[in-house]
Every structure is written in structure tokens, then in C-alpha cells.
Amino acid sequence: MNETIGSHISMEYNRPIKIVDDIYWVGYHEKEDQISCNPYLIVDQDEAILIDGGSRPDFSTVMRKILQVGIVPKSITHLIYHHYDPDLCGSLPNLEDMIDNPLLKVISKRENNGFIRHYGCRSVLQCIDQMDRKLTLKSGRTLRFIPIPYAHSAGSFMTLDEKTGILFSSDLFGSTTYQAEWTLFLDIKRACHACLQPLPVGRTEQEILIRHTCPLCGIRKFQRQVMPSNAALRLALQITRANNPVMIAPQHGSVLCGKEEMDQVIQALDSMEDVGIDGILGEMKRAGSAFPVG
């Protein structure tokens, strides 16, 4: 594991950061929006894979960091998009122009591809289900694609790098950043005990946030907002456990390192009962509200 993990105070976030071995964070953090976006670059000999390449406004930042890694853009052979949101796919035409590789392939899932085409995709657009849900590079290294339906879109999936055990989880485990100083690697030691348990009646998560600025608050809030239901989130968590990742690298928020840390976050998310529509219906029931009819 990269020795920089845990030494986030001295990290230069204006440069690419080596996550482990030949995997780099080439993302960015918007203090105004309190959210980070995390494109990742895998460099494997003379091939490179870019995961969730980012929005159009941030293309120059991502491409600058890719160049700082020391590769030529034409060596990028595949773009992987875990769903079709613009914060992942917005820069697709810019990337195609800069990479300028006629053999470039764009990988996603059938449910996503119909939307990804609307970004002006000119490259071959592949579906993971027609690839036996894996990509084998020239070196023999395998990236395995793992569907997590409706977490948060019908075609959502994750990518597991079998060489390193890193799971690229897209919006799953993503976070809104509440901490005064965002960190690329999650500092679970700052988590308050209350955030690892179901929230007590009468105590709101906002109150916990104000008192503790706990990183788990940001994770829970983000999952509550972007995941459609308790069932969708819990299924995705079960699938994550079954694949036993060494590290989890989400598209927003911070990277989760180590089994104990990942287990704690999964436990905190698994205890939630107010995700997406379930949270809205629960609030209506508690307030005695009638369903809107028009």
C-alpha cells in the first residue's frame, strides 16, 4: 500500500496522487460545493484506463494530472463509466479529442449506454454484459465489473481490479464533504460512536454533524440523497461484502482503506432506514401527512 496513505496533511491535491501501485487519483475538490470528484487512472505497462473521467468544466484539471503522471493520452485505451451522470461523463468528447486513439473504447452497461451516447460519444461503446463482465488487459490483468442495480441508477456497477483488490464503487460510499479540510483518505478515527449506530430518536444528524464534524455524517447524507431506497443500498452493501475488497475508491468523497474501516462504514450504512423514497415516506407517516394527489 502506498506509504502516503494517512499522511494527507502534506498531500498536494493539485497533483495526481498515487493510491497504490500503478493507480492514481486524478480528481478535484470543490470547496464551494463541498464535494470531491474522483476520476482514477490505472497505468498497466503501455495501457492506461480512465475511470469516471469527470465533468466538462473540470476536464483541464483532470487532463493536467493525467499528463503529470507521465503518460501520453493516446495510451488510454478504455474509458469506464459506472453510470451516466454528467459529473462522470461530461468531459467524454474532450477526452476523445485529447486521446485521439481510433481504438479507444468506452465501457458501461446497456442501461447507461443510451444516455452516454447523448454526450456525443464517437468511440466504440461496449456493454459489460457482452464482455462477460470483465476486461482483460494485454498484461493479463483483469478488471471485473460488478452490477449494483439501482445504486443509484438501473445500470450502476462497480469495477474490481483483481491485481490490487481495489474496488471502484462510483456513488456507493460517496460523501458530501463536511470536514473543514477534505482528505483523500478517510480518517475513520474522527468518527463519533453515535454515527456508527442507528440515530437515536430526537437527535438529528445535523446536530451530530455540528458537534463532531464526523466524516460518516457526510457519507450517510450522500447515500440518503442519491440512493433510491433502503433495499437498493442494502443489496449494494451485500454485494460489496461478498467481493471482499482491499480498498474502496468511490467517485465522491474519500477512499476507504483497510478492512476494519470498510466494515465500520458498511455497518453505519446498513443501519439506515431513511434512504431515498423510504425516508420521504417515513417522514410523511410520522407527520401524519396525506399523499399528494396533484
pLDDT in tens, 221-241: 899 999 999 999 999 999 999
Q: How does residue 168 score in pLDDT terms, banded at 50, 70 and 90? A: very high
Residue 127: all three cell numbers together: 456493454
DSSP state of 189: G
The percentage of residues in the chain with a pLDDT greater than 70, rounded to a whole number, is 83
Is the pLDDT assigned to residue 104 strictly greater than 70? yes
Is the pLDDT assigned to residue 140 strictly greater than 80? yes
Instruction: Indicate whether 13 belongs to any domain.
Output: yes
Least confident window among 27-36, 100-109, 137-146, 276-285: 27-36
Residue 199's CATH number: 3.60.15.10
Task: Tell me the β-bridge partners of 185.
Answer: 255
| Amino acid present at 13 | Y
Instruction: Indicate whether 211 belongs to any domain.
Output: yes
What residues contact residue 272 under an 8 Å CB cut-off, 6+ apart?
198, 220, 223, 224, 230, 233
Instruction: Indicate whether 109 belongs to any domain.
Output: yes
Instruction: Indicate whether 137 belongs to any domain.
Output: yes
Is the pLDDT assigned to residue 213 strictly greater than 70? no
- Give residue 151's domain range: 8-281
Q: How does residue 176 score in pLDDT terms, banded at 50, 70 and 90? A: confident
Interatomic CA distance for residues 254 and 292, integer angstroms: 38
Which pLDDT score, from 0 to 100, does residue 34 have?
64
Which pLDDT score, from 0 to 100, does residue 63 have?
97
Number of domains in the chain: 1
What residues contact residue 231 under an 8 Å CB cut-off, 6+ apart?
none
**Mean pLDDT of the region 41-59:** 96
Contact of 80 with 108, CB cutoff 8 Å: yes
Instruction: Indicate whether 291 belongs to any domain.
Output: no
Find where cell 452497461 sits: 109
The percentage of residues in the chain with a pLDDT greater than 90, rounded to a whole number, is 70
Instruction: Indicate whether 290 belongs to any domain.
Output: no
